[in-house]
Structure 1
Amino acid sequence: MSFYTFARSAVKGILSPVYRFEVVGAENVPSEGGVIVCSNHIDNLDPPAVGITCPRPVSFMAKEELFKLPLLKSILPKLEAFPVRRGMSDREALRKGLGILKEGKVLGLFPEGTRSKDGKLGKGLAGVGFFALRSEGAVVPCAVIGPYRKFKKVQVVYGEPIDLTTYKQERASAEVVTDVIMSKIAELIDKHQ
């Protein structure tokens, strides 16, 4: 058993009795090939929520500050998470993310770059559009619908992969593609809230 599988089971065992996770649309995550799961970000528990509900292992891009915390700095790399410097172009993180997709794995992104203070969907950063345009990965929008309250339902909704063929042909900007992805996440939130 891999460390990821062990950790996923352990986290599921800890969180599931406290929060009633309802997973919608998990079948929309392609069973093979590179996939970019793009989720809104309402709580610190979002990465584990997506990690335990996605049918495939997810490699998350996470803020580099987390990798400096004593407990997390040894665990996060074992979970295939990797650091990104926020607020600047981080070429190493971009290379790492593209590498994950090229290997046919799942890359987990929170396009807003930080948690929403009011629970509302914020503006997405261009990085997610960059990954969508520069890779062959399927882009799956995801909505975490809370709030996280003990013994209450938390929905994790996976939408259908977004067809970005036209945008790639027209050489659309990363910002435009990011806006398209964010609009799909917003649709999921509106539909399931």
Structure 2
Amino acid sequence: MAQRKKAKKTGKLYAFGRMLLSWFYLPVYRIHVLGRENVPEEGPVLLCSNHVAMKDPVMLGIVQKRQVFYMAKEELFRNGFIGGLLRRLGAFPVRRGTGGTDALEEAYTLLEEDAVVGVFIEGHRSKTGELQKPKTGAALLCYRTQAPVVPVCITAEDGRLPRPFHRTVIQFGKPVPAERLQIPDDSSMQLRRASRTIMGEIAALREESLKYLGSSSAQAGETERKA
């Protein structure tokens, strides 16, 4: 899929919600953002992140400019009002027992419309903050759409789970073009290999973020001693 010089527009409700929630999340979770400029301002993007908390979609949404679209379980859309609200906020449903094929089709459409699609590559939340084995959905989306992958890692101050009034780093890596992942076909073996490559990028970001948090703590301690 050739990248076009445009980006899917951000919805007004999403923009309002992002502004409102940033007033709470940025100071309470003491969020530090690194590499924000690595998210392309136009064209389709696969934003591939680790998953440490239910609030992850909110935190990723408030720290960069573009609207992020996510899969969410179908049960949340059964109420017409709530379902409509979730869709306006960028969520789209995935049905259990379908292998996620319906949600993938919607993701393909969104990427064709030059949107940013967020994928939690581990498939479920980590209970410890440590990285988990990646799923193959992001690699399949990349193979089918040729959208670049932007790896991102959410790292808490102690390397575990984000907590109020403790620092959290959100670090975006440089875009990984589909060609670099070298996915010749959509066989399970090739998708697993590409998924491990993406996870390796996220793991490298985690190490950098932990070093950043450690050096920041050391600098703060040195300042206090001098005072």
Residues 121 and 134, structure 2, Cα contact 8 Å, conserved in 1: yes
Alignment of 1:1-193 (within 5 A): 2-68=12-78, 72-86=82-96, 88-146=98-156, 147-168=161-182, 170-171=184-185, 173-193=190-210
Residues 14 and 88, structure 2, Cα contact 8 Å, conserved in 1: yes
User: For residues 81 and 26 of structure 2, what CA distance do their matches in structure 1 show?
Assistant: 22
1:46 corresponds to which letter in structure 2? Answer: D
1:149 corresponds to which letter in structure 2? Answer: R
Normalising by structure 2, report the TM-score.
Answer: 0.78
Post-superposition offset of 1:61: 1.6
Residues 86 and 113, structure 1, Cα contact 8 Å, conserved in 2: no
Give 1 or 2 for the bigger CA radius of gyration. 2
Unaligned segments of structure 1, at least 5 residues: none
Compute the RMSD of aligned alpha carbons.
2.1
Q: Which has the higher contact order (CA 8 A, sep 6+)?
A: 1
Residues 147 and 178, structure 2, Cα contact 8 Å, conserved in 1: no
| Count, aligned residues | 193
Post-superposition offset of 1:119: 1.2
User: For residues 136 and 89 of structure 2, what CA distance do their matches in structure 1 show?
Assistant: 25
Post-superposition offset of 1:55: 2.3
User: For residues 128 and 49 of structure 1, what CA distance do their matches in structure 2 show?
Assistant: 20
User: For residues 70 and 13 of structure 1, what CA distance do their matches in structure 2 show?
Assistant: 29
Post-superposition offset of 1:29: 0.6
Residues 28 and 164, structure 2, Cα contact 8 Å, conserved in 1: yes
Residues 77 and 93, structure 2, Cα contact 8 Å, conserved in 1: yes
User: For residues 40 and 70 of structure 1, what CA distance do their matches in structure 2 show?
Assistant: 30
The 1:22/1:70 distance shift into structure 2, 3 A limit, reads: farther
Residues 4 and 78, structure 1, Cα contact 8 Å, conserved in 2: yes
User: For residues 86 and 35 of structure 1, what CA distance do their matches in structure 2 show?
Assistant: 25
User: For residues 72 and 122 of structure 2, what CA distance do their matches in structure 1 show?
Assistant: 12
Normalising by structure 1, report the TM-score.
Answer: 0.91
Unaligned segments of structure 2, at least 5 residues: 1-10, 211-227
